[in-house]
Structure 1
Amino acid sequence: MSAFPEVHAAGTATAERPVVLLHGGNVANWMWEPQLSAFGDRTVLTPDLPGFGERVREGWPGLDAVADDVVARVTGHGVDGQFDLVGLSLGALTALRVLARNPDRVSSAFLTSAPLMSAGAGMRLYCGLQSAFSRARWYWRAQAAVFGLPEDARARYVEHGLSVRRETASAMAAEVCAGGVPAEVGRYTGPLLATAGEKDSAAVRRSLAEIARAAPQARTRLVPGMHHIWNVEDPDLFNGVLRAWLGGAVDPRLLG
């Protein structure tokens, strides 16, 4: 699988803040490819998280360390001021830790598909299946179907799922299954939009209330008709929602 760059510079000089996109688990920064053409007027950073993509040989250091790593990589790419932060699934969990640990670096945050509920029987079964079948191609194909990924995105998803080290997947899943929102998220008082797909799991949809409790300024919405990785499932909808949010508005297509 070819490397996907972390920095996508705007074609012309712009005073707009950079946008940092944090990918989900068992994928990598290439999941944001459908967004790049729509945001060519902004500098976009898509860092690989430890253990994924070009960093697949690295171990999973824990969410706090991953959040610090994100800020360090963004700074290392020449961004020493504020940025707009976007995270999906594992990326949303990481973004919450960035908000808790470096609230002054984030101008606005858009979190979607965050699994924050402590693991019930269904989630424990999911984690167990992933651990048992992470080397099975059929398992990743089934996951791609459940997530509603289009056919042209499924092969890449399967190949990357097979590339993730079992130790990385297990450590990451254990931390995700623990659930919860870091208490320090309240240190961030800036704009925050939290969404979940209308067809995502009940646990992910319930997580919106957890975010609202931790960050009272958060606006929470459901995305009509969407599953978990909806930036790939419907790029036009995702790009429109993100564009509206970066402009200070909530897309009226979202469900209140």
Structure 2
Amino acid sequence: MTTMALRNTGTLAWRTLVQIKHNPFELIDFSVQPIMFLLLFTYVFGGAMAGSPAEYLTFALPGIVVQNLIFATMNTGIGLNTDITKGVFDRLRSLPIARSAPLAGRILADVIKQAWAVALLLVIGIVLGFRIETGPAATLGAIGLLLVFAVALSWVSVLVAMLVSTPEKVQIFGFVLFFPLTMASGAFVDPATMPGWLQAFAEVNPTTVVADAVRGLLSGGPVAGPVTWSLAWAGGLLVVFAPLAVRAFRRRI
């Protein structure tokens, strides 16, 4: 990207972030809702799943972080679709800015929001009793891996947003796509407890792979394999969906 494109991207990303001041309810998706999920899974299911909430928190926190990140990528598509249907992109197109800036700015702003949500969940998890058994470098590596996966997955949301007519449809299609991806995984339970056919799917599910990588980076355990497969999934999503999303974006605007 050129210097102008980078500057335009930063300006439009800031525009998206500043909107939170005028719509504080948007913080619910990135703050209150993740905390509610964390408390619910830890204290309602923890005893049944692992014998105690504290034991389950160690296993489940990385999975909850990944689940929240996956659902949060829908906000990218919803925001883009909203701007298009309200005519914001028509106004932006008349300005002397890089054509890629509106799309890149939205993705950058949402990645910043997701970084906030990841950090918030880790802090709340530590308050509840979660302990990071590795070091600062591994912790930053886990956060970086999560954000890389978020950027890759956000292109799926962008593609959906360009193919449907309203923000509500983006939310519906995103939920239908992402709900099975998060629940039929090893994010919350060990896949070994599942039926054989479901276990096979859960073990290759990117939600499981990323959750396992984050567990290894935060709590110890296997790291190389899960991280490698997580990056492979991120690269695959990027290679497949980014060109399709960009093409659909150009046609839509």
| TM-score, normalised with respect to structure 2 | 0.27
| TM-score, normalised with respect to structure 1 | 0.27
Structure with larger Rg: 2
Name the structure with the higher strand share: 1
Indicate the structure whose relative CO is greater, using CA pairs within 8 Å and at least 6 residues apart: 2
Name the structure with the higher helix share: 2
